[in-house]
Amino acid sequence: MPAPKFTPEQFLDAALAKVESKSIRAWAQSDHNRPLWLKLAGNTLQKHGDAASTDGFAAFVVLSALG
């Protein structure tokens, strides 16, 4: 199996770059939330590999923030 295209941190950062809301990006990157999002990004990459979508993950972040 080839090495993944992204590390969890790179994947999260690429997804957050697609989030238009400055406040949602700040929320996701807070000291409390960033470790949780990194874990979820890692889980997503493990499950989907290179097929993992930064667009889909960005939408997941936004939907989670909106509750």
Label residue 1 by pLDDT band (50, 70, 90): very low
Average pLDDT value for residue range 23-44: 98
The pair of structure tokens assigned to 41 is 């990004």
Contact between 50 and 14 (Cβ < 8 Å): no
- Degrees to nearest 5, angle at CA 36 with 13 and 52: 50
Label residue 65 by pLDDT band (50, 70, 90): very high
- Degrees to nearest 5, angle at CA 33 with 47 and 64: 65
8 Rama class: left (phi>0) / alpha (psi -120 to 50) / beta:
alpha
